[in-house]
């Protein structure tokens, strides 16, 4: 065993050493402007941008013309992200963190209702446990980051940084679970994980360190585990659809795409129309008894016999925020769904030379107080060194759902003017009905964002029956729904046949909601009898 460990370590060290050099090199090529904004994206090869003063006014790329640059610019200009001098690592600024916290508050309360308890396990993993479950680690090994030194001296045994915590936690599950009364054991942790990705780092979407929650549960029966897998998946659907206003498909992963260490994987899949790529939004795995066998998680059942637990693990990460930016953002910047916006309403005074400035400022403050009392997240932007126009652009860039303007005329008429971020619509509303009107509008925006995103996504869905139709739809950046024989070899073949610069196509999920599959329907790729409808496409 010892030999095996050192062989693994040797393998990892070889990967780490040249890579850290590459990282330093790419850090050096970065150019920072006065405001500290990175002008060149991480990694080599990207073209240099003009150094643009951070005015907060306008984006230099449009969503349709240059999606990648547009995305990078939006996350930085909206003050969600600051680039960092280690490639693939990003600073999450309060504007992003508050979105994460809102989702966290919801999910944490929901899992507590399910009797899940929070805990915290260490960040570091000893090679022995990490490498114990070989099937599980095999494909992931290159992404594991290792600590090899303290100060100047080499560690006797390198220590891994958790990429996920199955192997960290389960030795203790084995210790803590003794009898059937210890079950179910349901733990969750909110933490960071590190996966040293090599391909195209992107804020939120693919970063080398990210925040997530990971739930790890153990049950006496498979039925209980199965039930929980779906309960958790439903919570993930709600995060996407009810909070982030993003339509998703719930379904099961193929044998090729499932978590190799588990029995089966269910997931939430979203779609980015601009790039024509699917994106896995969250996963809920039934691990079966694979880890239980490996880590000897046994217990004595009611009959006094030795039995093995059934396990699940499930997680969603800060990737959710990136999907939200990609789906809703526009050429003015971020568009935040009201339910996750740190600030739902921004109140801006419109003062002219001879206007009653103090009266207008007081009206703004009073408006914020009224809204806040009603539980609406509102603030006034009373800065005097910025014009109203500049403030409009600034808050539009940050995606605040509603802007309230108060000028001399509004003051006179005891009204405010409200502008919607999602569609630009402006309405005058009486201050008498302020709270109910604003609440109503926020609800409408939330719904409208979801409806618009769903319409766009649905317009990208292409039902295909043959290989030719499949290839054509793939070229048109579609989300493909195709009848499939559900064979691993056939999926491998699809990947091989679609390999190219843009990345290969793969199965995204087999949706639980299955259209009717007419008898005699053939698999689009193999021509064998189809067993199910499956979503296919390129993906993140
Ligand atoms: C990268 C390096 C090492 C994903 C990795 O999905 C190990 C892994 O095990 C690894 N990338 N995974 C699978 C994670 C499975 C599972 N863990 C708990 C989840 C949700 C939360």
Q: Is the CB of 140 under 6 A from ligand 1?
A: yes
Q: Which spans in 205-265 are helix H?
A: 222-238
CB atoms within 10 A of CB 260: 17
Q: Is the CB of 257 under 6 A from ligand 1?
A: no
Q: Which residue has the tokens 């030379």?
A: 353
Determine the distance separating the centroid of ligand 1 and the alpha carbon of 209, expressed in angstroms: 13
Contact 83, 90 (CB under 8 A): yes
d(CA 420, CA 425): 5
Give residue-wise pLDDT tens across range 367-395: 999 999 999 999 999 999 999 999 999 99
Give residue-wise pLDDT tens across range 500-517: 989 999 999 999 999 999
d(CA 193, CA 474): 33
For residue 476, with 0-12 CB atoms within 10 Å meaning exposed, 13-18 middle and 19 or more buried, which class applies? Answer: exposed
Determine the distance separating the centroid of ligand 1 and the alpha carbon of 283, expressed in angstroms: 10
Q: Is the CB of 37 under 6 A from ligand 1?
A: no
Q: Is the CB of 313 under 6 A from ligand 1?
A: yes
Q: Which atom of ligand 1 is nearest to the CA of 283?
A: 6
Half-sphere exposure of 202 (CA within 13 A, CB side): 19
Q: Is the pTM of this model over 0.85?
A: yes
Determine the distance separating the centroid of ligand 1 and the alpha carbon of 163, expressed in angstroms: 6
Q: Is the CB of 144 under 6 A from ligand 1?
A: yes
Q: Is the CB of 164 under 6 A from ligand 1?
A: yes
Q: Which atom of ligand 1 is nearest to the CA of 143?
A: 2
Determine the distance separating the centroid of ligand 1 and the alpha carbon of 119, expressed in angstroms: 18
Contact 485, 529 (CB under 8 A): yes
How many Å is the Cα radius of gyration of the chain? 26
d(CA 207, CA 160): 18
Determine the distance separating the centroid of ligand 1 and the alpha carbon of 313, expressed in angstroms: 9
Q: Is the CB of 42 under 6 A from ligand 1?
A: no
Q: Which atom of ligand 1 is nearest to the CA of 212?
A: 21
* Residues 6+ positions from 338 with CB-CB distance below 8 Å: 344, 401, 402, 442, 443, 445, 446
Residues in the chain where the model's pLDDT stays below 50: 1-54, 56
Give residue-wise pLDDT tens across range 66-91: 999 999 999 999 999 999 999 999 99
Determine the distance separating the centroid of ligand 1 and the alpha carbon of 446, expressed in angstroms: 32
- Nearest CA among 404, 408, 437 for reference residue 420: 404
Q: Is the CB of 258 under 6 A from ligand 1?
A: no
| E-strand stretches of 17-67 | none
Q: Which residue has the tokens 């999602």?
A: 422
Q: Which atom of ligand 1 is nearest to the CA of 164?
A: 17
Q: Is the CB of 284 under 6 A from ligand 1?
A: no
Give the chain's length. 540
Local structure of 124: helix, strand or coil: strand
Residue nearest (by alpha carbon) to ligand 1 atom 10: 164
Q: Is the CB of 276 under 6 A from ligand 1?
A: no
In the prediction, which pLDDT does 138 show? Answer: 78
Q: Which atom of ligand 1 is nearest to the CA of 214?
A: 21
Residue nearest (by alpha carbon) to ligand 1 atom 9: 164
Contact 308, 415 (CB under 8 A): no
Contact 321, 204 (CB under 8 A): yes
In the prediction, which pLDDT does 51 show? Answer: 41
DSSP letter string over 363-390?
HHHHHHHHHHHTT--EEE---SSS-HHH
Determine the distance separating the centroid of ligand 1 and the alpha carbon of 311, expressed in angstroms: 14
Residue nearest (by alpha carbon) to ligand 1 atom 14: 164
Q: Is the CB of 399 under 6 A from ligand 1?
A: no
d(CA 236, CA 216): 16
d(CA 122, CA 406): 52
Determine the distance separating the centroid of ligand 1 and the alpha carbon of 508, expressed in angstroms: 17
Residue 37 CA, chain-centre distance (Å), reads 23
In the prediction, which pLDDT does 131 show? Answer: 83
State the Cα angle at 98 between 94 and 100, rounded to 5°. Answer: 120
d(CA 176, CA 165): 16
Ligand 1, from 15, 163, 194, 316: best to mutate by most atoms within 8 Å of Cβ?
A: 163
């Amino acid at each position: 065993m010892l030999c095996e460990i050192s062989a693994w370590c040797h393998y990892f060290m070889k990967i780490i050493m040249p890579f850290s050099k590459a990282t330093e090199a790419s850090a050096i090529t970065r150019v920072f402007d006065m405001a500290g904004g990175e002008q060149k994206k991480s990694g080599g090869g990207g073209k240099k941008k003009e150094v643009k003063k951070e005015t907060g006014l306008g984006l230099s790329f449009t969503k349709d013309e240059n999606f990648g640059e547009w995305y990078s610019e939006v996350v930085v200009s909206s003050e969600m992200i600051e680039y960092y001098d280690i490639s693939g690592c990003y600073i999450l600024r309060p504007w992003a963190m508050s979105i994460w916290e809102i989702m966290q508050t919801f999910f944490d309360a929901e899992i507590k209702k399910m009797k899940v308890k929070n805990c915290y396990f260490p960040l570091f993993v000893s090679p022995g446990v990490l490498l114990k479950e070989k099937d599980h680690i095999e494909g992931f090994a290159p992404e594991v980051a290792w600590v090899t030194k303290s100060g100047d001296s080499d560690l006797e045994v390198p220590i891994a940084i958790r990429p996920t915590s199955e192997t960290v936690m389960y030795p203790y599950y084995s210790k803590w679970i003794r009898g059937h009364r210890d079950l179910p054991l349901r733990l969750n942790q909110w933490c960071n994980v590190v996966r040293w990705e090599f391909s195209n780092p992107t804020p939120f979407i693919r970063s080398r360190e990210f925040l997530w929650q990971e739930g790890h549960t153990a049950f006496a029966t498979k039925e209980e585990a199965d039930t929980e897998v779906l309960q958790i998946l439903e919570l993930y659907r709600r995060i996407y659809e009810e909070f982030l206003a993003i339509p998703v498909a719930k379904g099961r992963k193929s044998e090729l795409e499932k978590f190799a260490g588990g029995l089966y994987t269910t997931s939430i899949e979203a779609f980015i129309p601009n790039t024509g790529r699917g994106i896995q939004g969250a996963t809920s795995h039934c691990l079966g008894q694979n880890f239980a066998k490996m880590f000897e998680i046994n217990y004595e059942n009611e009959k006094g016999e030795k039995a093995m637990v059934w396990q699940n693990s499930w997680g969603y990460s800060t990737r959710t925020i990136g999907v939200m930016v990609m789906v809703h953002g526009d050429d003015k910047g971020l568009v935040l769904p009201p339910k996750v916006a740190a600030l739902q309403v921004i109140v801006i005074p419109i003062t002219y030379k001879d206007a009653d400035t103090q009266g207008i400022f007081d009206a703004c403050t009073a408006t914020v107080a009224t809204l806040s009392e009603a539980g609406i997240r509102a603030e006034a932007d009373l800065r005097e060194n910025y014009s109203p126009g500049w403030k409009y652009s600034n808050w539009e860039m940050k995606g605040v759902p509603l802007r309230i303007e108060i000028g001399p005329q509004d003051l006179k008429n005891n009204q405010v003017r409200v502008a919607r971020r999602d569609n630009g619509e402006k309405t005058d509303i009486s201050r008498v009905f302020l709270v109910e009107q604003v609440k109503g509008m926020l609800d409408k925006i939330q719904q409208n964002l979801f409806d618009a995103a769903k319409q766009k996504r649905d317009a990208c869905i292409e039902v295909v029956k043959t290989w030719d139709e499949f290839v054509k739809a793939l070229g048109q950046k579609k989300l493909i729904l195709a009848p499939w024989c559900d064979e691993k070899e056939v999926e491998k073949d699809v990947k091989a046949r679609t390999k190219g610069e843009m990345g290969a196509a793969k199965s995204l999920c087999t949706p639980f909601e299955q259209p009717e599959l007419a008898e005699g329907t053939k698999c689009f790729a193999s021509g064998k009898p189809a067993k199910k409808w499956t979503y296919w496409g390129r993906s993140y």
